[in-house]
């Protein structure tokens, strides 16, 4: 399987960017095991999933999936849907916040236009005493994202973002963002050797470095990983440095490592499950298949199994 891993990754990443396949997928419904990792096509389905996860002791973040937004009309529609999602979270009383991608909200159209859309979303969340996480995308959008975050942070304290450990700049970004709630990830985009580490061990080392740095600064830290060895290292570090469990959380994707999620909850840790939903499920699902070859067999099992993940 190792020899096939890179070609398979490239194949699924290629498929994820296909506009025609994405359009067709909206007609297919949640096929090929996608229903095990995507919480339905509408808010009502997503809230039902979140309620079920809450009952297991898990908290959540909802992400309305979107691909290929290149008009103001689409971006405004996506903005309104984010606000509608925050309304539904408040009305249902579930323990859940919101994750957003700013390219879905007009970042590639106009910085100022995207900022205004973000203001509407973050203000709505503030009214509900909720929190908005800005997802980090590729390196091209990194500084743009941090610039908009800085402006929003002048007005709001209920917004944070994501830092990717494979970028050389991650350590300095952590330094600059003391006191900001951050989700820390290894990083999933293919980036140039000029801006990002290429070797797994280098990424892992820097990931642990930025986690420790943010925790020691007293900042709230969301550690997004399925790597049980990394999780064990963080637990050990937190105990050794008397860092309270209330200062950090572990985050995992809906439908993955469910037994580990529940095990950590049993140990008194906060586990937040990233729950994607929406009609534009196709690109997200293809990227999950690209990440690990094991996910392909997971998807195939989904075709023949009705078993629930939780």
Question: What is the domain partition of the chain in residue ranges?
Answer: 39-277
The reported pLDDT for the residue numbered 276 is 93
The Cα 285–Cα 16 span in angstroms is 8
- Mean pLDDT for 86-97 is 98
- Mean pLDDT for 67-80 is 91
Q: What is the pLDDT of residues 162-174, one digit of tens each?
A: 999 999 999 999 9
The Cα 178–Cα 213 span in angstroms is 9
Indicate if 183 belongs to the active site: yes
- Mean pLDDT for 207-221 is 98
Top-confidence range, 27-36, 49-58, 182-191: 49-58
Indicate if 287 belongs to the active site: no
For residue 240, pLDDT over 60 is answered with: yes
The reported pLDDT for the residue numbered 282 is 67
Q: Which fold has domain 39-277?
A: TIM Barrel (3.20.20)
Helices 19-28 and 281-291, axial angle in degrees (round to 10): 110
Active-site residue, selected from the candidate residues 133, 183, 272, 288 = 183
The Cα 297–Cα 289 span in angstroms is 9
For residue 86, pLDDT over 80 is answered with: yes
Of residues 256 and 306, the one with the higher pLDDT is: 256
| pTM of the model as a whole | 0.87
The reported pLDDT for the residue numbered 306 is 43
Instruction: Assign 296 to helix, strand or coil.
Output: helix
Confidence class of residue 38 from pLDDT cuts 50, 70 and 90? confident
Q: What's phi and psi for 99, nearest 5 deg?
A: -110, 140
């Amino acid at each position: 399987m190792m020899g096939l891993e890179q070609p398979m990754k490239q194949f699924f990443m290629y498929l994820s960017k296909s506009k025609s396949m994405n359009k067709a997928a909206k007609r297919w419904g949640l096929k090929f095991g996608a229903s095990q990792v995507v919480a339905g096509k509408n808010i009502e389905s997503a809230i039902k999933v979140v309620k079920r996860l809450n009952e297991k002791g898990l908290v959540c973040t909802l992400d309305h999936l979107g691909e290929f937004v290149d008009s103001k009309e689409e971006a405004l529609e996506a903005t309104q849907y984010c606000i509608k999602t925050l309304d539904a979270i408040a009305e249902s009383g579930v323990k859940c916040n919101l994750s957003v991608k700013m390219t879905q909200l007009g970042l590639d159209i106009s910085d100022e236009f995207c900022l205004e859309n973000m203001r509407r979303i973050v203000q709505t969340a503030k009214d509900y005493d909720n929190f908005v996480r800005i997802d980090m995308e590729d390196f091209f959008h990194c500084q743009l994202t941090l610039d908009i975050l800085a402006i929003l942070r002048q007005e709001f304290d209920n917004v944070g973002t994501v830092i990717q450990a494979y970028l050389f700049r991650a350590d300095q970004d952590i330094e600059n963002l003391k006191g900001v709630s951050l989700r820390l990830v290894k990083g999933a985009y293919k980036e140039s050797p000029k801006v990002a580490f290429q070797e797994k061990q280098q990424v892992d080392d820097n990931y642990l470095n930025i986690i420790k740095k943010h925790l020691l600064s007293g900042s709230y830290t969301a550690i997004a990983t399925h790597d049980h060895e990394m999780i064990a290292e963080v637990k050990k570090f937190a105990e050794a440095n008397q860092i309270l469990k209330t200062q950090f959380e572990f985050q995992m994707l809906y439908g993955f490592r469910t037994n580990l999620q529940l095990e950590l909850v049993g140990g008194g840790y906060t586990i937040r499950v990233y729950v994607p939903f929406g009609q534009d499920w196709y690109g997200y699902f293809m990227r999950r298949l690209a990440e690990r070859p094991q996910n392909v067999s997971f998807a195939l099992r989904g075709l023949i199994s009705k078993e629930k993940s939780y």
